[in-house]
Amino acid sequence: MTISVCTVARGRDRHLENLILGLRRSARPPRDLVVAVMQGRRLRLPEASFPVRQVVLGKGETSLARARNAAARLTTGRLLAFLDADCIPSPTLLDDYVGAATLGTGVFMGEVGFLARGATDHGLDFARFGAEAVQHESRPTPAPQALEPVEDGRAFSALNFAIRAADFAALGGFDEAYAGSGGEEADFGRMLAEHHVPLWWLGGATAYHQHHPQHMPPVHRLDAVLADAARFERKWGQPAMEQWLRAFALMGLVKREGDHWVKLREPTESDLALTRQQEHQPYASSTQVLHWLEERAVRRIDSGKKAGKSTAAA
């Protein structure tokens, strides 16, 4: 089975270079690599033994859904592997995806190992990456080459996944109406359930995520998150990105009014500092931020109760 790779590029040229260098060391070369460039110029990329195509979408393009769809349309493989540009594919990633596709149908999500800052400064060392990379706290670990069903489509992530090209086309790809802050991923997961397309965790198909500063939850993209959440709720009649929105509410950035979210204020530097990935962290964690916010809210309630009792006693 032939397999193509799709990625989206907007800055992070060094990260994309490492993705290509990783593909050059793949046990199974891709049929082709298609890069959707979300800026106004073509990129200078390393030479490769397989075809590399670029589709330039323009500097003002912000829709990750549109970019991923544009990349997929130019591929020629029967199986599509989608990788974020900051991911380095392991030498067995493509083989593992082809193997999974022979076992079953649906969407396969490979493993992601998060690398510390500076992990790639001296080149690609997959033995070291495997020993040092940290897996995300929310992802299970199936046995090698094993498939484990994903019970909730909201767990879908576009960071590293594969799907047959025919299935992707039949689904219509990603919904391009989303602003590009997670809504298109939540929508795709919901669409899989709607069309009874299985979603799987795959043991293997490992990609190594290169360290870069980020915010989780993405408070720097507050307006886009609100727009995507509203779009999802109108389309499916249920909320999405609830963890992020709950965190924003506890931060005093938004509130729920009736059937929609209302922005109360712009994020400040303290909000950015709270959500910013620290140098020692392999990844930024929305769960950790939310836990801290909830604990702070409980402490405030307890302090208020104690103050009320003291006033009553006086």
Strand 107-109 relative to strand 160-164, pairing: antiparallel
d(CA 162, CA 108): 5
d(CA 166, CA 117): 38
Full DSSP string of the chain:
--EEEEEEESS-HHHHHHHHHHHHT-SS--S-EEEEE-SSS-------SS-EEEEE--TT---HHHHHHHHHHT---SEEEEE-TTEEE-TTHHHHHHHHHHH--SEEE--EEEPPTTTTTT---HHHHHHH-EE-TT---PPTT-EEE-S-GGG--SSEEEEEHHHHHHHTSS-TTS-SSSHHHHHHHHHHHHTT--EEEES---EEEPP---BSS-GGGHHHHHHHHHHHHHHHSS---HHHHHHHHHTTSEEEETTEEEE-S---HHHHHHHBPPTT-SS--HHHHHHHHHHHHHHHHHHHHHHHHHHHH-
Determine contact, residues 222/267, Cβ cutoff 8 Å. Answer: yes
What's the confidence (pLDDT) of residue 227? 95
Q: State pLDDT tens for residues 195-209.
A: 999 999 999 999 999
How much is the average pLDDT of 172-185? 91
Q: Which domain holds residue 138?
A: 3-209
214 part of a folded domain: no
Judge if 171 and 60 occupy the same domain.
Answer: yes
Judge if 96 and 198 occupy the same domain.
Answer: yes
What's the confidence (pLDDT) of residue 302? 62
21 part of a folded domain: yes
- Percent of the chain at pLDDT above 70? 93
Judge if 255 and 169 occupy the same domain.
Answer: no
Tokens (6 digits) for 1: 């089975």
Last residue of a domain, one of 170, 188, 209: 209
How much is the average pLDDT of 58-65? 85
Determine contact, residues 96/204, Cβ cutoff 8 Å. Answer: yes
Lowest-pLDDT range of 66-70, 226-230, 268-272, 293-297: 293-297
Judge if 194 and 103 occupy the same domain.
Answer: yes
Last residue of a domain, one of 188, 209, 230: 209
d(CA 114, CA 134): 5
Judge if 57 and 184 occupy the same domain.
Answer: yes
261 part of a folded domain: yes
Judge if 98 and 17 occupy the same domain.
Answer: yes
Q: Is residue 310 pLDDT above 60, yes or no? A: no
Judge if 24 and 73 occupy the same domain.
Answer: yes
Lowest-pLDDT range of 1-5, 55-59, 223-227, 262-266: 55-59
131 part of a folded domain: yes
Looking up residue 84, the CATH number of its domain turns out to be 3.90.550.10
- Percent of the chain at pLDDT above 90? 73
Judge if 62 and 28 occupy the same domain.
Answer: yes
Q: State pLDDT tens for residues 167-177.
A: 999 999 999 99
119 part of a folded domain: yes
What's the confidence (pLDDT) of residue 305? 59
> What is the pTM (predicted TM-score) of this model?
0.91
Judge if 158 and 270 occupy the same domain.
Answer: no
Judge if 196 and 233 occupy the same domain.
Answer: no
283 part of a folded domain: yes
205 part of a folded domain: yes
Report the number of distinct structural domains present in the chain.
2
Give the C-alpha distances (Å, rounded to integers) separating 76 from 56, 57, 165.
Answer: 18, 20, 9
Q: State pLDDT tens for residues 99-133.
A: 999 988 999 999 999 998 889 999 999 999 999 99
How much is the average pLDDT of 20-49? 95
Judge if 230 and 150 occupy the same domain.
Answer: no
Last residue of a domain, one of 170, 185, 209: 209
Judge if 201 and 230 occupy the same domain.
Answer: no
What's the confidence (pLDDT) of residue 92? 98
Q: Which residues touch 108 (CB under 8 Å, ≥6 apart)?
A: 97, 100, 101, 147, 161, 162, 163, 200, 202, 205
Q: Is residue 134 pLDDT above 80, yes or no? A: yes
